[in-house]
Amino acid sequence: MAGMKPNEVFAMALGLEGSPWRVVDIRFDPELKRLDIDLDYPPGSRFNHPESGQPCSVYDSQMRTWRHLNFFQFECYVNAPVPRVDGGPDHGVRQASVPWARPHSGFTLLMESMMMVLAQGGMTIAEAARAVGEYAQRVWTVVLHHVGVAHERMNLDSVRVISVDEVCRARGQNYLTIISQPKGDGQPTRVLLVIEGRDSKTLREFKDHLRRRGLSPEQIRTICSDMSPAYIKGIGDEFGHALLVFDYFHVVQLVTTALDAVRRRERHEFPEELKGVRWAMLKAEENLTEEERKKRRRVCAGKLQTGKAFNHLDALRSIMRQYDPLQAERDLKWWCGWVARSKIPEMMKVARTIRTHWDGVVAYLKTRVTNGAAEALNGIIQTAKRKARGFKTVEYFAAIIYLTSSHLQFDLPDSIPSTHTNSH
C-alpha cells in the first residue's frame, strides 16, 4: 500500500474495485471528531438491476449515509448518491445495490462485521454497542439479520443423530427446547434449532424445519433425550422410526437424586452420622478431598440406607461404563433386582423407572450416544444469559444461542480491528 493516495486506500477498504464508484472527497471535522468519505460515480455509469441483473442506466438517485468503522477515535461515515435504475416495463425502477453495504442497512458491511465479531467473541450486545459507539437496539438489528440469514443457510444434509435438551429462559418455568447435533465426522457439536417451550410439539416443529429445507425426517436415525414424558411422546409421534436413547447422565442422575433424598430423610434421625457428608456422597471419586473420602468410607461401612444407596449408585456407574453391551444389559437386570429388594423406597422407585424405560436405557449401552455435548452447550448458553442478565424476548435469546453455539458462517468481509477504537 506504500505510495497509495488516501482516496485509493479507502476505495480498497470499501471494496469499490470493479465498480463505477470512486472516492471523491475525504472531509474531517475536528470539532465533531468526524470523518466523512464522499463517493460518486461518473456520468453515464450503468448499474445492475436488482431483479433482472442486467446493466441499466441511472433513472435518478438519493443521497444516503452509512456509519463506517471508526477511524482511530473519530466516527466515520460514508456518503453517496444511491442510484435507481430503470429495468423497463418488465422490472420497473428499482434502487441499485452498493458494494459497501447491504440493502436497507445504515451501516457499512465492515461495520456490521465488527459488530458480529464483538458479539460472537463473548461481548454482550450492550458491551458491543458501547464499543462501537452505537445504540444497543441498532446492534441487535444487525445481529438478528445476519444470524437469521446464516441459520437459514446451515447445511443439515448430514444430520443423522440429534440431542434434545431444555434450557431455562427466565424465572417462572419459562423454557426453550434445544435441538443439537453431537460432534462427529469432522462436524463440531452445534445447535440446530431453538424452540419455545418443552412439550411434545417441539419435535413437530423440528420435523417441519427439516421439511422446509427439502429434507426428510427419515434421515434422523438416533435421538438422545432425557426421560421427559413430553419429549418421549413427541419423539414417538414425529420420529417413531428413530432409535430413542436415554442419556447416560440423566439415568445416573436419577440415582444421584434418589441418594440425596435418602440422605436428607435419614439425617433427621441420624444427624451426627450424616453431618457434612452430602458432597462426600455426591462427588465423583477423583474430585474428593481426603477428608471427604474418609466420610464416604465411614457412611458406606455403616448400616444406614444412605451408604447402601451410594453402593447402588457406584454399581450403576460401573455397569453403564462397560464396553460389552450384552454383559452390561445382563448386569443392569441384576442391578434392578438388587435395588428392588433393597427396601429403600427412593431407590426402588428408580429401579421401576429404569424398567419402564428399559429399551431407551439399553440403547445407550449399544450406541454410547449421550447428551454430554448438549449439556456442554447448555453451559455456554447459561453463561451468555448470565452475562446479559437475561433477554427480553425469545427471539433475542435464540439469536445469541445460534451465534455462540451453532458455528454459523457469515457472508461478511473481514473487519479491520486496527482502525477500530472505543468512541467513548
* pLDDT > 60? residue 423: no
DSSP-derived 3-state class of residue 176: strand
Long-range CB pairs of 246-249, under 8 A, 24+ apart, other chains included: 246/357, 246/360, 246/361, 246/363, 246/364, 247/163, 247/364, 247/370, 247/371, 247/372, 248/320, 248/364, 248/370, 248/372, 249/370, 249/371, 249/372, 249/375
C-alpha 69/C-alpha 412 separation (Å) is 14
* Alpha helices in 54-94, H assignment, sequence order: 88-91
pLDDT given at position 180: 94
Verdict on whether the full-model pTM lies above 0.75: yes
Out of 183-187, 257-261, 332-336, 361-365, least confident range: 183-187
pLDDT given at position 169: 75
Cβ-Cβ contacts under 8 Å for 417 (sequence gap 6 or more): 114, 117
- Cβ–Cβ under 8 Å, residues 94 and 51: yes
Half-sphere exposure of 273 toward its Cβ, with a 13 Å CA cutoff?
19
User: Residue 1 has which C-alpha cell?
Assistant: 500500500
Tell how far CA 260 is from the center of its chain.
32
* pLDDT > 90? residue 380: no
Phi, psi of 366 (to 5 degrees): -90, -30
C-alpha 169/C-alpha 213 separation (Å) is 27
Instruction: Give me the sign of the Cα torsion angle 328, 334, 336, 342.
Output: negative
pLDDT band at 384; cut points 50, 70, 90 = confident
Helices 394-405, 109-120: axis angle to 10 degrees equals: 80
* pLDDT > 70? residue 12: yes
Phi, psi of 195 (to 5 degrees): -130, 135
* pLDDT > 70? residue 149: yes
Q: In percent, how much of the chain has pLDDT > 90?
A: 70
* pLDDT > 80? residue 5: no
* pLDDT > 90? residue 102: yes
* More confident of the two residues 343 and 380: 343
- Cβ–Cβ under 8 Å, residues 196 and 209: no
Reported as a single tens digit per residue, the pLDDT across 82-96 is 999 998 888 899 999
User: Strands 243-246, 222-225: parallel, antiparallel or unpaired by DSSP?
Assistant: parallel
Task: Give mean pLDDT, residues 97-112.
Answer: 94
* pLDDT > 80? residue 2: no
- Cβ–Cβ under 8 Å, residues 178 and 378: yes
* More confident of the two residues 240 and 381: 240
* Alpha helices in 341-393, H assignment, sequence order: 345-356, 358-367, 372-388
Only one residue has cell 439469536, namely: 399
Tell how far CA 185 is from the center of its chain.
20
pLDDT given at position 179: 95
Task: Please state the domain extents for the chain.
Answer: 6-106, 161-246+371-388, 254-367
* More confident of the two residues 383 and 403: 403
Long-range CB pairs of 388-394, under 8 A, 24+ apart, other chains included: 388/124, 388/125, 388/126, 390/170, 391/169, 394/169, 394/176, 394/196
pLDDT given at position 173: 61
Reported as a single tens digit per residue, the pLDDT across 166-182 is 888 766 568 899 999 99
pLDDT given at position 421: 40
pLDDT given at position 393: 86
Only one residue has cell 450503468, namely: 46
**142: closest CA among 165, 118, 160, 162?**
118
Cβ-Cβ contacts under 8 Å for 80 (sequence gap 6 or more): 21, 38, 39, 40, 63, 64, 98
pLDDT given at position 286: 86
pLDDT band at 310; cut points 50, 70, 90 = very high
* pLDDT > 50? residue 298: yes
pLDDT band at 424; cut points 50, 70, 90 = very low
Q: Tell me, what DSSP letter sits at residue 317?
A: H
Task: Give mean pLDDT, residues 309-315.
Answer: 95
pLDDT given at position 406: 93
Q: Domain spanning 161-246+371-388 has what CATH number? A: 3.30.420
Instruction: Give, in order, the Cα–Cα distances in Å from 87 to each of 23, 41, 91, 104.
Output: 27, 19, 5, 20
* More confident of the two residues 195 and 171: 195
Beta-carbon count within 10 A of 152 CB:
9
Beta-carbon count within 10 A of 398 CB:
23
Q: In percent, how much of the chain has pLDDT > 70?
A: 95
